[in-house]
Structure formats: C-alpha cells, structure tokens
C-alpha cells in the first residue's frame, strides 16, 4: 500500500486490523486488537490511524463477557475480539495537515453524534468504509447507503463511501448522489468531493431541537392531563 501511494502520488485510505503488542518476558505477544483505518500519505508515510469506537456486539466483541462467557469462543472462532477505540480521530490528508478527513467504519456511520464529533474535531470530508457482504441481495445495503447519505446533509459535507460489495459512491452536502455503484459488481468510481469547513446548525447545536421537542411534548401532555 505504501509503494502504491508513492507510485500514484496520492493518499490512500485503507481498513485493516491493528495489533497492539506487549512484552511478556522475552517475547512480544499480541495484547489488543482494533478494527482500524489507516491513511497512507502520498509519500508512503502513515498520516494517521482511526480505531473503530462503536463495535458490533457478538460480531466484534462479547458484551458483559463475564455473564456471556459461553459466547466468547464463537466470536473468537471467526477471528474477532476487538477492543473499542477511544478517540474520534481525524486524519490529515496532506503533509502540512491543511485538510483533514474522518472515517466511520461500517455501521458507525448511522450514529449522527459520532459523525458530528468528527466535524467538530476538524473533519472537512466524511468517508466511510464497510463490508455489507453479510446482507447479500437484500434491502440492507441500500438502507445503509441511505443512512450514510443523511450524515452528509446533517454535517454539510461531501461523503465518500467504499463498500467491498457495494454500494460505493459519492454524496454531496445536499444529499444528492453524485455517483454510485451497484451491489456485487466490480467497478471503479471517479468523482469530485471537496473539502468544506462551514458548519451546519446540526454541527453547531447537535440534537438540541430534538431534546426540546421531547420536553415540549411531555409538558403539553401534562398540561392536557391537568385540563381534563
């Protein structure tokens, strides 16, 4: 990947397992494993690493492991057992760090609050990488793509999505799909996705309107009950 980045003179974003090692006596042994995304700069250097924060229960880890000990071997059998990342890291695209992007791994893109944290951290371009092969030719890949498109609208950012079995594509800040692939089709997508720094109302204030609506609804229900 480093050689390819240097040869093409472009940065490359790639997903990979990441192993954190520890010393056990005289040996280095695996300590923690993360589901990560690496940004390789055009000079072949690693610009940054993002570790997935929202892991899939029973797919990537076992919740309340002490009680559900019987499920642990099933998760380990498929090569998982990841540790969640702690920081919504944004990745510098160029050597001088002028422009930065964020990456949501798989179903992380359905969390508006997480994507908002990326933008507040300086992300000017949203990206997401995913494996939707699990869902086959069902409606799920299309729903996942639609949910990712919502993040572009909320944050006022271009969104670039790469899915190993589709749907891959580019969505503009208004939710318009610039280009996209089908599912289970080999394809190359070329399009324009610009870096943007302007913040939307949602990026600035988050779910304040939603919380206010809940409070107002509860207040009206209490008022209606008193009137009766």
Domain edges within the chain:
2-197
- Is there a contact between 82 and 108 (Cβ–Cβ < 8 Å)? no
The highest-level CATH class for domain 2-197 is alpha beta
pLDDT above 90 covers a percentage of the chain that reads: 64
Q: Note whether 182 and 166 are within 8 A (CB).
A: yes
Q: Is the preceding omega at residue 167 within 30 degrees of 0, hence cis?
A: yes
Q: What is residue 9's predicted lDDT score, i.e. its pLDDT?
A: 92
pLDDT at 76: 55
> How many other CB atoms are there within 10 angstroms of residue 128's CB atom?
26
pTM: 0.83
pLDDT for the residue 224: 85
pLDDT tens string 122-158:
999 999 999 998 888 999 999 999 999 999 999 999 9
Mean pLDDT of the chain: 88
pLDDT for residue 64? 59
The order of strands in the sheet holding 91-92 is: 91-92, 100-105, 125-130, 159-163, 169-171, 177-180
Of all residues in the chain, the percent with pLDDT exceeding 70 is: 89
Express each pLDDT in 162-218 by its tens digit.
Answer: 999 989 999 999 999 999 999 998 998 899 999 999 999 999 999 998 899 999 999
């Amino acid at each position: 990947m480093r050689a390819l980045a240097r040869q093409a003179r472009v940065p490359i974003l790639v997903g990979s397992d990441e192993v954190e090692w520890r010393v056990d006596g005289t040996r280095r042994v695996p300590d923690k494993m993360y589901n990560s995304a690496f940004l390789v700069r055009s000079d072949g250097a690693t610009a940054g690493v993002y570790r997935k924060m929202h892991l899939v229960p029973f797919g990537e880890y076992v919740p309340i492991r002490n009680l559900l000990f019987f499920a642990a071997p099933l998760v380990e059998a498929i090569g998982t057992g990841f540790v969640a990342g702690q920081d919504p890291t944004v990745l510098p695209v160029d050597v001088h760090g002028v422009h930065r992007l964020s990456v949501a791994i798989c179903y992380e893109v359905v969390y508006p609050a997480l994507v908002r944290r990326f933008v507040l951290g300086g992300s000017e371009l949203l990206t997401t990488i995913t494996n939707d092969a699990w869902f086959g030719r069902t409606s799920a890949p299309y729903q996942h793509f639609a949910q990712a498109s919502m993040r572009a609208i909320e944050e006022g950012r271009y969104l670039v999505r790469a899915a190993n079995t589709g749907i891959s594509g580019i969505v503009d800040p208004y939710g318009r799909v610039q280009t996209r692939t089908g599912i289970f089709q080999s394809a190359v997508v070329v399009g324009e996705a610009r870096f943007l720094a302007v913040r939307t109302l949602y990026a600035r204030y988050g779910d304040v309107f939603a919380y206010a609506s809940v409070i107002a609804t509860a207040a009206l229900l209490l008022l209606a009950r008193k009137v009766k």
